[in-house]
Amino acid sequence: MKKIILIGILAAMLLLVACTPTKFTCADGVVVDDSSKCVNAEEPADSPQVQEETKQPVVEGTNDKNAVESLPVGIPGEIQDIFDKNTQIKSVYYDYREGKDLTLPTYKTYLKGNKMRIDLPVQTSKLYTNEMDMVILNLADKTAEAYCVSTRYCKETGDKGEVSFNKYYQETPLAWLAKVSSAKKINSENIDGRKVLRVLVNDDNTYLVDEYYGIPLRVLTAEKEIYFDNIIFNTIIDNDFDFNVLKDDY
Protein backbone atom coordinates (compact mmCIF):
# COMPACT_ATOMS: atom_id res chain seq x y z
CA MET A 1 0.00 0.00 0.00
CA LYS A 2 2.83 2.41 0.95
CA LYS A 3 4.51 1.73 -2.42
CA ILE A 4 1.35 2.65 -4.26
CA ILE A 5 1.08 5.98 -2.35
CA LEU A 6 4.80 6.77 -3.02
CA ILE A 7 4.42 6.06 -6.71
CA GLY A 8 1.38 8.36 -6.82
CA ILE A 9 3.27 11.23 -5.15
CA LEU A 10 6.22 10.91 -7.59
CA ALA A 11 3.86 10.91 -10.59
CA ALA A 12 2.14 14.07 -9.32
CA MET A 13 5.50 15.83 -8.88
CA LEU A 14 6.59 14.90 -12.40
CA LEU A 15 3.31 16.22 -13.80
CA LEU A 16 3.74 19.50 -11.89
CA VAL A 17 7.28 20.03 -13.19
CA ALA A 18 6.18 19.32 -16.76
CA CYS A 19 3.43 21.93 -16.55
CA THR A 20 5.60 24.70 -15.03
CA PRO A 21 6.91 27.24 -17.67
CA THR A 22 10.70 27.30 -18.18
CA LYS A 23 12.35 30.56 -16.98
CA PHE A 24 15.56 32.20 -18.30
CA THR A 25 17.80 34.74 -16.59
CA CYS A 26 19.30 37.27 -19.05
CA ALA A 27 22.75 38.85 -18.82
CA ASP A 28 21.23 42.01 -17.35
CA GLY A 29 19.49 39.99 -14.55
CA VAL A 30 16.01 40.10 -16.05
CA VAL A 31 14.06 36.81 -15.84
CA VAL A 32 12.06 35.93 -18.96
CA ASP A 33 10.20 32.89 -20.24
CA ASP A 34 11.93 32.98 -23.65
CA SER A 35 15.68 33.57 -24.22
CA SER A 36 14.90 35.53 -27.41
CA LYS A 37 13.41 38.26 -25.22
CA CYS A 38 16.78 39.03 -23.65
CA VAL A 39 18.15 42.45 -24.82
CA ASN A 40 21.81 42.62 -25.84
CA ALA A 41 23.31 44.90 -23.23
CA GLU A 42 26.00 46.13 -25.66
CA GLU A 43 23.47 47.30 -28.31
CA PRO A 44 20.23 48.51 -26.66
CA ALA A 45 17.13 48.50 -28.85
CA ASP A 46 16.73 52.29 -28.41
CA SER A 47 20.41 53.02 -29.08
CA PRO A 48 20.89 56.76 -29.70
CA GLN A 49 23.37 55.84 -32.44
CA VAL A 50 20.70 53.95 -34.40
CA GLN A 51 18.22 56.82 -33.99
CA GLU A 52 20.82 59.34 -35.15
CA GLU A 53 21.51 57.38 -38.33
CA THR A 54 17.86 57.58 -39.33
CA LYS A 55 18.05 61.39 -39.24
CA GLN A 56 20.79 61.81 -41.87
CA PRO A 57 19.79 64.38 -44.55
CA VAL A 58 18.66 62.93 -47.85
CA VAL A 59 19.30 64.73 -51.14
CA GLU A 60 16.47 64.02 -53.55
CA GLY A 61 17.35 62.64 -56.95
CA THR A 62 20.61 60.96 -55.99
CA ASN A 63 21.92 58.17 -53.82
CA ASP A 64 25.47 59.50 -53.92
CA LYS A 65 26.78 59.84 -50.36
CA ASN A 66 28.90 62.81 -51.48
CA ALA A 67 25.74 64.72 -52.49
CA VAL A 68 25.64 66.36 -49.05
CA GLU A 69 28.42 68.61 -50.36
CA SER A 70 25.80 70.46 -52.40
CA LEU A 71 24.12 71.69 -49.22
CA PRO A 72 25.16 75.18 -48.01
CA VAL A 73 28.52 74.87 -46.29
CA GLY A 74 29.62 78.52 -46.09
CA ILE A 75 32.71 79.89 -47.83
CA PRO A 76 35.85 77.71 -47.90
CA GLY A 77 39.04 79.39 -46.71
CA GLU A 78 40.66 79.24 -50.15
CA ILE A 79 37.80 81.23 -51.70
CA GLN A 80 37.40 83.61 -48.76
CA ASP A 81 41.09 84.51 -49.03
CA ILE A 82 40.50 85.61 -52.63
CA PHE A 83 37.34 87.55 -51.73
CA ASP A 84 39.26 89.38 -48.97
CA LYS A 85 41.65 90.83 -51.55
CA ASN A 86 38.97 93.39 -52.46
CA THR A 87 40.31 95.51 -49.58
CA GLN A 88 43.08 96.58 -51.99
CA ILE A 89 40.52 98.43 -54.11
CA LYS A 90 40.36 102.20 -53.61
CA SER A 91 38.54 102.87 -56.87
CA VAL A 92 37.48 100.97 -59.98
CA TYR A 93 36.42 101.70 -63.55
CA TYR A 94 34.55 99.21 -65.77
CA ASP A 95 32.20 98.93 -68.73
CA TYR A 96 28.90 97.52 -67.50
CA ARG A 97 26.86 95.38 -69.92
CA GLU A 98 23.99 92.94 -69.41
CA GLY A 99 24.67 90.21 -71.96
CA LYS A 100 27.50 88.80 -74.05
CA ASP A 101 26.53 90.66 -77.23
CA LEU A 102 28.92 93.59 -77.66
CA THR A 103 26.23 95.62 -79.43
CA LEU A 104 24.17 95.81 -76.23
CA PRO A 105 24.17 99.12 -74.31
CA THR A 106 27.38 99.68 -72.38
CA TYR A 107 27.62 101.97 -69.35
CA LYS A 108 31.02 103.45 -68.51
CA THR A 109 31.13 103.27 -64.74
CA TYR A 110 33.40 105.00 -62.21
CA LEU A 111 33.32 103.98 -58.56
CA LYS A 112 35.19 105.54 -55.63
CA GLY A 113 34.01 105.53 -52.03
CA ASN A 114 30.31 106.40 -51.94
CA LYS A 115 30.38 108.07 -55.36
CA MET A 116 29.37 106.37 -58.58
CA ARG A 117 29.43 107.94 -62.01
CA ILE A 118 27.69 106.39 -65.01
CA ASP A 119 28.25 107.67 -68.54
CA LEU A 120 25.07 106.78 -70.41
CA PRO A 121 25.10 105.09 -73.86
CA VAL A 122 23.56 108.04 -75.73
CA GLN A 123 23.12 108.49 -79.48
CA THR A 124 25.96 110.07 -81.45
CA SER A 125 24.39 110.21 -84.89
CA LYS A 126 23.00 113.74 -84.46
CA LEU A 127 24.57 116.83 -82.94
CA TYR A 128 23.00 118.84 -80.12
CA THR A 129 20.07 116.51 -79.36
CA ASN A 130 20.80 114.70 -76.06
CA GLU A 131 19.10 115.90 -72.90
CA MET A 132 21.52 114.13 -70.54
CA ASP A 133 24.52 111.86 -70.86
CA MET A 134 25.84 111.30 -67.33
CA VAL A 135 24.48 110.49 -63.87
CA ILE A 136 26.37 110.83 -60.61
CA LEU A 137 25.02 108.79 -57.69
CA ASN A 138 25.61 109.05 -53.98
CA LEU A 139 25.54 105.48 -52.65
CA ALA A 140 25.27 106.59 -49.03
CA ASP A 141 22.10 108.66 -49.23
CA LYS A 142 20.81 107.01 -52.46
CA THR A 143 20.44 110.16 -54.49
CA ALA A 144 21.28 110.78 -58.15
CA GLU A 145 22.00 113.91 -60.20
CA ALA A 146 21.90 114.07 -63.99
CA TYR A 147 24.15 116.13 -66.26
CA CYS A 148 24.81 116.73 -69.92
CA VAL A 149 28.51 117.33 -70.60
CA SER A 150 29.08 116.83 -74.32
CA THR A 151 29.41 120.11 -76.18
CA ARG A 152 28.88 118.21 -79.42
CA TYR A 153 25.79 116.10 -78.66
CA CYS A 154 23.99 117.83 -75.79
CA LYS A 155 21.12 120.14 -76.58
CA GLU A 156 22.42 122.17 -73.68
CA THR A 157 25.24 121.32 -71.26
CA GLY A 158 24.88 121.60 -67.50
CA ASP A 159 23.20 120.18 -64.40
CA LYS A 160 19.85 118.60 -65.30
CA GLY A 161 18.67 118.12 -61.74
CA GLU A 162 17.87 115.17 -59.50
CA VAL A 163 16.74 111.88 -61.05
CA SER A 164 15.60 108.52 -59.66
CA PHE A 165 18.41 106.66 -57.91
CA ASN A 166 16.78 103.26 -58.48
CA LYS A 167 16.35 103.90 -62.18
CA TYR A 168 20.05 104.44 -62.84
CA TYR A 169 21.79 102.45 -60.12
CA GLN A 170 23.44 99.21 -61.27
CA GLU A 171 24.74 96.70 -58.76
CA THR A 172 28.51 96.92 -58.55
CA PRO A 173 30.97 94.02 -58.29
CA LEU A 174 31.31 94.80 -54.58
CA ALA A 175 27.52 94.70 -54.14
CA TRP A 176 27.37 91.26 -55.76
CA LEU A 177 30.24 90.10 -53.54
CA ALA A 178 28.31 91.16 -50.44
CA LYS A 179 25.52 88.73 -51.37
CA VAL A 180 27.69 85.62 -51.03
CA SER A 181 26.71 83.30 -48.19
CA SER A 182 28.07 80.06 -49.65
CA ALA A 183 30.58 79.33 -52.39
CA LYS A 184 32.06 76.32 -54.14
CA LYS A 185 35.01 76.38 -56.55
CA ILE A 186 34.31 75.08 -60.05
CA ASN A 187 37.57 75.79 -61.87
CA SER A 188 40.16 78.43 -62.79
CA GLU A 189 39.98 80.42 -66.02
CA ASN A 190 41.42 83.45 -67.79
CA ILE A 191 39.57 86.60 -68.91
CA ASP A 192 41.45 89.15 -70.99
CA GLY A 193 44.74 88.09 -69.45
CA ARG A 194 43.41 88.11 -65.87
CA LYS A 195 43.26 84.95 -63.78
CA VAL A 196 39.75 84.29 -62.51
CA LEU A 197 38.11 81.70 -60.30
CA ARG A 198 34.74 80.31 -61.44
CA VAL A 199 32.63 79.92 -58.29
CA LEU A 200 29.14 78.56 -57.66
CA VAL A 201 27.54 81.08 -55.30
CA ASN A 202 24.56 80.43 -53.02
CA ASP A 203 23.82 77.25 -55.03
CA ASP A 204 22.29 79.17 -57.95
CA ASN A 205 24.59 81.92 -59.35
CA THR A 206 28.02 81.73 -60.94
CA TYR A 207 30.74 84.34 -60.39
CA LEU A 208 34.00 84.65 -62.30
CA VAL A 209 36.17 86.28 -59.66
CA ASP A 210 39.40 88.16 -60.30
CA GLU A 211 42.03 86.27 -58.30
CA TYR A 212 44.14 89.36 -57.59
CA TYR A 213 41.48 91.87 -56.53
CA GLY A 214 38.78 89.45 -55.33
CA ILE A 215 35.71 90.85 -57.12
CA PRO A 216 33.58 89.30 -59.90
CA LEU A 217 34.25 90.24 -63.52
CA ARG A 218 31.20 88.21 -64.58
CA VAL A 219 27.97 87.41 -62.74
CA LEU A 220 25.76 84.74 -64.29
CA THR A 221 22.24 84.33 -62.91
CA ALA A 222 19.09 82.62 -64.16
CA GLU A 223 17.75 86.00 -65.32
CA LYS A 224 20.79 87.70 -66.84
CA GLU A 225 24.52 87.75 -67.49
CA ILE A 226 26.41 90.78 -66.19
CA TYR A 227 29.79 91.77 -67.64
CA PHE A 228 32.25 94.11 -65.94
CA ASP A 229 34.61 94.62 -68.89
CA ASN A 230 37.81 96.63 -69.37
CA ILE A 231 38.19 96.90 -65.61
CA ILE A 232 40.85 99.25 -64.21
CA PHE A 233 41.72 99.53 -60.53
CA ASN A 234 42.83 102.45 -58.37
CA THR A 235 43.19 105.18 -61.00
CA ILE A 236 40.07 107.30 -60.40
CA ILE A 237 40.42 110.71 -58.75
CA ASP A 238 37.84 112.90 -57.03
CA ASN A 239 37.76 115.31 -59.99
CA ASP A 240 36.26 112.55 -62.13
CA PHE A 241 33.00 113.27 -60.31
CA ASP A 242 33.19 117.03 -60.77
CA PHE A 243 31.08 118.31 -63.64
CA ASN A 244 33.25 121.38 -64.10
CA VAL A 245 36.32 119.42 -65.15
CA LEU A 246 34.75 116.62 -67.19
CA LYS A 247 36.04 116.55 -70.73
CA ASP A 248 33.89 116.26 -73.81
CA ASP A 249 35.39 113.04 -75.14
CA TYR A 250 32.56 111.99 -77.48
Q: Could you read off the pLDDT of 57-96 as tens digits, one per residue?
A: 333 333 333 333 444 459 999 999 999 999 999 999 999 9
Task: For residues 178 and 220, state if they share a domain.
Answer: yes
Domains contained in the chain, number: 2
Tens digits of residue pLDDT in 96-105 = 999 999 999 9
The span from the CA of 91 to the CA of 237, in Å, is 8
Task: For residues 126 and 137, state if they share a domain.
Answer: yes
End-to-end CA distance of the chain: 140
In angstroms, the Cα distances linking 165 to 33, 97, 107, 154, 220 are 83, 19, 15, 22, 24
Tens digits of residue pLDDT in 19-60 = 555 555 565 555 556 666 665 544 444 444 434 443 333 333
The span from the CA of 235 to the CA of 90, in Å, is 8
What is the CB neighbour count within 10 angstroms for residue 116?
A: 21
Give the global pTM.
0.69
Task: For residues 114 and 145, state if they share a domain.
Answer: yes
| Residues paired with 233 in a beta bridge | 92
The residue-averaged pLDDT of 131-159 equals 95
**What residue numbers bound the domain in which 164 lies?**
91-169+236-245
- Domain assignment present for residue 159? The answer is yes
* Burial of 214 per CB tally in 10 Å (0-12, 13-18, 19+): buried
- Domain assignment present for residue 133? The answer is yes
